[in-house]
Structure 1
Amino acid sequence: MTASTPYAQNWDLDTLAPAPDTEDFTNLLAAYRTDLLDLANRADSLPALDPTQPGVLADWSEFLQAYENVASRGSELDAFVGCHAAADANNRTLHGLEAELSSLGPHRARIALALQLGLQAATQEQLAECFAANPELERIGYWLTDQRTLAALRLPRDQELLAAELDVDGLHAWGRLYDRVSGALRITVMEQGELVERSPGQIQFDSADRSVRQNNYYASVKAWRSVSDTCSDALNHIAGTRLTKYKRLGLTDHLSAPLCFNRMERKTLDAMWAAVDDRKDMLLNFLSAKSRLLGLDHLCWYDLQAPLPTTSSDSADINYDTACGLIIDSFNRFSPEFGEFARTSIVDRWIEAENRDGKRQGGFCTGFPVHQQSRIFMTYVGTLDSMSTLAHEIGHAYHSYVLRDQPLFLQDYPMNLAETASTFAEAVLGEERLNATEDRSGQLAILDTMLSDSVGFLMNIHARFLFEDRFHIERATGELSPERFSELMVDAQQQAYLGALGDDGWNDTFWISKLHFYISSLPFYNFPYTFGYLLSLGLYAMAREGGDGEFPDQYRRFLLATGDRCTEEAVADSFGHDLQQPDFWNRSLDVVAERVARFAKLAT
């Protein structure tokens, strides 16, 4: 790669597996299916983990080795097909492959269920005996203990297996339906005097021209409302399925499962939201100052990402090559390993960033554990926010890179800790750029991006959490209409944003357009983002204060700990902080307060 050679904006998937429409891929999938079914049949007779029974430890060791092999291959196939489908949203062949892989879910569930029930049958003392007697089991001891905990979220065996089969054409089918509906949606907008159709991911609300933002917003609202009935059905049935299972399990709190999946306690979540509620009114100063700079009496939803009026070069489009260079340099100053990793992921074409029609909306990072690589999907549109998204996703990939040599089962970490690594990467980029910028307008532009992120994590995500919490409560007594979903959405936004937007400034179709509500595999795809954001800010504050050069290694050890500890222990063991006390959260929020004060001063 030379200075004159542009970075590729399309990813390389060919080095990971044969193309999906080839016989080689068909054979690869068939071999995986055969091995998966064989392992599922073996799992049906997996004995309880009892160290007093002859041969049990050997049986479990052999089973876990086979499970690791099959699970890693399945993970790669899911990621490979998912990448192709995201980049070619209207390809029916890829839709079929997604459905085919989803249909294998019940067999995967049989394996996981057998393992969890076999662990549940063992006492803590027996489990400790097994670890002491078998180094292979001891090495993945945390994961096995965690799987034993997850067994509490399982129905009796026969019911659980039936539920897994029904989920293919039920719970997960509703999620796939949303993916197809949103992927096929086209929004008609005016560009250079012509009406054109765009995918949702191509519609931006960051134009300097407010009329363009308004037109894009109302065109989007119109398009999303056209699918509101279908999306309402999907959301009702995704939540309804979960609630039915929770009732069978005797769970009275619909947050019990998502907290368990995130390896965190309710007390930690409550401490975080309490700190946010106590202090997020400081963001009103930022929103007020921004509205003045934009010449507005108040902001509306479509103004939140508007650029500030400025003549600085920072307001110009940031081309992809420039963004990549800035990210590599910023990461390298934090840690040479981090910078080199960013360069590798860009140069080796791990990233799909092209702005074109036919792609799914949103962005993600997915892993290929056998190849020890990741792939990143996004649509790069030349803005500060888009550059931050790129840094965010590379942060995810770096997390997987740090864990790459761990056993597969210890490469698994919860979403809240995943979002810590990604938002930490954004913080590194943002602070480096802010410190390197001397002119007022450039600093304002960077602070605007940073504080817009703060609004997103402390207000927007909070609104999503409040909305999802409340609609789960109402869904327990019956289905909600599209109109009721819209009412709940606006109510949640008004509370979370402290009424900061104008009366006509709320987005009542956000529940339709936000794909996170429709992820069937994981409920409450929201609070982990705020958790990760605040944790990353607190860690970055520690990095600034350290000054001894040891923090990058400490941070790396923390990322390693995310695979073999619960959330509270990973932070306490790595940094010595108690997440159930307000001190750490306030330390993180102090960083936001500093930025608000700096922005307000520059804005006067």
Structure 2
Amino acid sequence: MRETRYKKVWNLNNLFPCGSGPSSFDNYVKQLEMEITELEEKINLFDNLIEINESLGVKSVLKHIGEIWKKLSQANSFITCLSAQNTKDQDAVVLKEITSFMNAHFESVINKFQYIILETEEEHWTEIIEIKALTEYKFILTEWREKGKLLLPENEERLISDLMMDGYHAWRQFYNSLIGKIKINIPFDEEVRELSVGQAFNLRSHSNEGIRKAAHHALEESLQKEEDLFAQILNHIAGFRLQVYKNKNLPHILTESLMKNHLKAETLNAMWSTVNKYKQPFTDYLTEKAKMYGDTKMQSYNFWAPIGESKQKITYEEAVDFILESFNRFGNELGNFARNVFDSGWVEAENRTNKSVAGFCASFPLTGESRVFMTYEEGITNVLTLAHELGHAFHNNAMKTVDGINRQYPLSIAETASFFAEQIVLDAVLEKAETKEEKLFLLDEKLKRSVMNFMNIHSRFLFENNFYEERKKGMVPAERLNELMQEAFDTAYDGSLDSPSLRSWIWTPHYYITTSPFYNFPYTFGYLLTLSFYAKSKESGKAFEKDYIALLRDSGSMSTEDLVMKHLGEDITSESFWEKGIKICVKDVEDFMSLIS
């Protein structure tokens, strides 16, 4: 293959003022720890917000917190990138332990500030948050006051934070190391190739059904050998989390996740209720596609199989060029930003072993940069994954002008930004399709995303919810986890999927994220919300880009319900809102059925 104009290996060398070597990073960390200690000493001087406001000023403290958050995020993202590009990197493990202590220390300082907010009498509280200088912080202050009500006494919170470092968060690190070391032996014609979990996972969309099937079973067999160990990891993460919830008297296992997503329970319930009402068209699609392979039910290893133009290969260079062209059609800011991403070496896409499984985008707020991670294998799925992660990066870029403390947007809106970028590219590909075969191929790719968000993500939500309920009673063995996974698939797919990956609870990294519980429903939320945004963009043309960026900038400083009401004028607690998006996807099913007949 000829040399590409775009590098497939990212540049991590310019992320810190004094370089990214071990000694430079060590100095950076030491300085950051000193800043956290200074902030803590400053906060320790006060008992309530009135005292702070009369001396240093609440705004000054919030800005200090925001600056430290940016620097700490910079360090955390750097280590995430080191671990992902080489799962055997032991230096990254050491650095992770160091920053884990800083994260815990900073969290305890934030908790101290939340205690101060909580101790402020209602009369003074109302006066302070209405101060004009604090207008941009009103949401975060109110949110912290609510979170403060859930805090344990300060010494107990600090103890839990300390235990998290070598317990709770360490299990996540252990998971990353373990999954990265697993090798899968997969037969290719006359040879057997040893692949990582991520590489085996990419074979889901291979044009050869025999290879897809062999990869599916080889992955399951390899994971079965380690399932007891992964079950222990998952149980310990869940057990720790549940014990914390119990001590804090959290009313429901979803409470923390809803707060992190700035969502009301009624919004989530309305979304899932609507999704459940519209399962039939998508089961019809799966059944119809299964017939192409001589099956009565969709075999899971055939779900991602391309149809129509299935042999088409898209080089990395072609993918980048097409993404840039598509983004430029949407708006100049998005197009120029994406061009800078590739020119600056912000993307890691090389196909090699010892890389992490899942793609992601890491934010570096201190330098106003991002890094995109994936494994590119010349298929349309990889093109869309690349666009998806670039959407996250554009969101980070939009937040550059926002004060540090308000940059922490929820996952639900983060996934909206990524799906929006993905939709721009997918729509552009569909527009260029000329033949019936091309249209069928691309429409199928579009419907896969609907099925993933309405059925697969729903199965993850059901599995995690049911697992946590059983974990309350004790350890849940691997065999039972497989059963729970099967039950979740049967319900979410309405019985339309055969031979699902019962050990997907192992290779799905989201279950092991200790900082974001229930990282599943934000995908469905973001996908459906994207359809509303995208419909509006089609009406407004390039003028919509300005409004879209304004929405992204607001995403960390108001509830998601208020955000959508402000920028779309829609009530997301109503099922009628969610129906609008799903009906667009139902129309895709109708078009697919029409073409295939």
TM beyond 0.5: yes
Q: Deviations over 1:522-555 (max 9, x none)?
A: 11010111000011012212333x2565432222
Unaligned runs of 5+ in 1: none
Following the alignment from structure 2 to structure 1, what is the Cα–Cα distance between the partners of residues 505 and 302? Answer: 19
Structure 1 match to 2:151? 154
- Shift of residue 182 of structure 1? 0.7
Structure 2 match to 1:239? 238
Matches within 5 A, 1:351-362: 351-362=347-358
Structure 1 match to 2:33? 33
Following the alignment from structure 1 to structure 2, what is the Cα–Cα distance between the partners of residues 542 and 123? Answer: 44
Q: Deviations over 1:316-357 (max 9, x none)?
A: 111111111111111111112111111111121111111111
Matches within 5 A, 1:500-515: 500-502=496-498, 505-515=499-509
Within the candidate set 473, 476, 479, 1:477 is matched to 473
- Shift of residue 293 of structure 1? 2.8
Q: Name the stretch that deviates more: 17-26 or 486-495.
A: 17-26
Structure 2 match to 1:102? 100
Given that residues 489 and 497 in structure 2 are in contact (C-alpha distance below 8 angstroms), is that contact kept between their aligned partners in structure 1?
no
- Shift of residue 212 of structure 1? 0.7
Structure 2 match to 1:282? 281
Task: Figure out how many residues of one structure are paired with residues of the other and give that number.
Answer: 593
Q: Deviations over 1:150-182 (max 9, x none)?
A: 223322211111000001111111111111111
Structure 2 match to 1:367? 363
SS in 2 for 1:58: coil
Following the alignment from structure 2 to structure 1, what is the Cα–Cα distance between the partners of residues 290 and 483? Answer: 26
For 2:529, give the aligned amino acid.
L
Question: 2:266 matched to 1:272?
Answer: no
Given that residues 541 and 591 in structure 1 are in contact (C-alpha distance below 8 angstroms), is that contact kept between their aligned partners in structure 2?
no
Structure 2 match to 1:521? 515
Within the candidate set 174, 179, 184, 1:177 is matched to 174
TM-score, normalised with respect to structure 1:
0.95
Question: 2:334 matched to 1:338?
Answer: yes
Within the candidate set 549, 555, 559, 1:562 is matched to 555
Q: Deviations over 1:495-527 (max 9, x none)?
A: 10111123xx12211111111100011110101
Given that residues 136 and 557 in structure 2 are in contact (C-alpha distance below 8 angstroms), is that contact kept between their aligned partners in structure 1?
no
Given that residues 9 and 345 in structure 2 are in contact (C-alpha distance below 8 angstroms), is that contact kept between their aligned partners in structure 1?
yes
Matches within 5 A, 1:65-84: 65-84=63-82
Structure 1 match to 2:24? 24
Structure 2 match to 1:542? 536
Q: Deviations over 1:14-34 (max 9, x none)?
A: 111366543222222222222
Given that residues 285 and 600 in structure 1 are in contact (C-alpha distance below 8 angstroms), is that contact kept between their aligned partners in structure 2?
no
For 2:117, give the aligned amino acid.
L
Given that residues 8 and 349 in structure 1 are in contact (C-alpha distance below 8 angstroms), is that contact kept between their aligned partners in structure 2?
yes
- Shift of residue 192 of structure 1? 4.9
Structure 2 match to 1:119? 117
SS in 1 for 2:13: coil
Given that residues 416 and 529 in structure 1 are in contact (C-alpha distance below 8 angstroms), is that contact kept between their aligned partners in structure 2?
yes
- Shift of residue 246 of structure 1? 1.4
SS in 2 for 1:525: coil
Following the alignment from structure 2 to structure 1, what is the Cα–Cα distance between the partners of residues 289 and 264? Answer: 37
For 1:494, give the aligned amino acid.
D
Given that residues 388 and 429 in structure 1 are in contact (C-alpha distance below 8 angstroms), is that contact kept between their aligned partners in structure 2?
yes
For 2:47, give the aligned amino acid.
P
Q: Deviations over 1:238-296 (max 9, x none)?
A: 11111111111222311111111111001000000011000121112211221223343
- Shift of residue 43 of structure 1? 3.5
- Shift of residue 561 of structure 1? 1.9
TM-score, normalised with respect to structure 2:
0.96
Given that residues 49 and 122 in structure 1 are in contact (C-alpha distance below 8 angstroms), is that contact kept between their aligned partners in structure 2?
yes
For 1:29, give the aligned amino acid.
V
Structure 1 match to 2:392? 396
SS in 2 for 1:358: coil
Given that residues 577 and 584 in structure 1 are in contact (C-alpha distance below 8 angstroms), is that contact kept between their aligned partners in structure 2?
yes
For 1:565, give the aligned amino acid.
M
For 1:230, give the aligned amino acid.
L
- Shift of residue 201 of structure 1? 0.8
- Shift of residue 123 of structure 1? 4.3
Q: Deviations over 1:419-455 (max 9, x none)?
A: 1111111111111111121111111111111111111
Question: 2:35 matched to 1:6?
Answer: no
Following the alignment from structure 1 to structure 2, what is the Cα–Cα distance between the partners of residues 20 and 180? Answer: 22
- Shift of residue 6 of structure 1? 1.5
Structure 1 match to 2:413? 417
Given that residues 364 and 377 in structure 1 are in contact (C-alpha distance below 8 angstroms), is that contact kept between their aligned partners in structure 2?
yes
Quote the RMSD (CA, aligned, Å).
1.8
For 2:591, give the aligned amino acid.
R
- Shift of residue 95 of structure 1? 1.1
SS in 2 for 1:15: coil
Question: 2:490 matched to 1:494?
Answer: yes
SS in 2 for 1:219: helix
SS in 1 for 2:68: helix
Q: Name the stretch that deviates more: 98-107 or 268-277.
A: 98-107
For 2:110, give the aligned amino acid.
A
Following the alignment from structure 1 to structure 2, what is the Cα–Cα distance between the partners of residues 79 and 242? Answer: 23
Following the alignment from structure 2 to structure 1, what is the Cα–Cα distance between the partners of residues 387 and 405? Answer: 26
Matches within 5 A, 1:566-585: 566-585=559-578
For 2:402, give the aligned amino acid.
Q
Following the alignment from structure 2 to structure 1, what is the Cα–Cα distance between the partners of residues 398 and 354? Answer: 33
- Shift of residue 134 of structure 1? 6.2
Q: Name the stretch that deviates more: 459-468 or 182-191.
A: 182-191
For 1:600, give the aligned amino acid.
M
Following the alignment from structure 2 to structure 1, what is the Cα–Cα distance between the partners of residues 168 and 392? Answer: 27
For 1:377, give the aligned amino acid.
F
Structure 1 match to 2:222? 223
Structure 2 match to 1:316? 312
Identity percentage of aligned residues? 32
SS in 2 for 1:283: helix
Distance 1:236 1:5, change over 3 A: closer
Distance 1:547 1:21, change over 3 A: closer
Structure 2 match to 1:49? 49
For 1:552, give the aligned amino acid.
E
Given that residues 315 and 445 in structure 1 are in contact (C-alpha distance below 8 angstroms), is that contact kept between their aligned partners in structure 2?
no
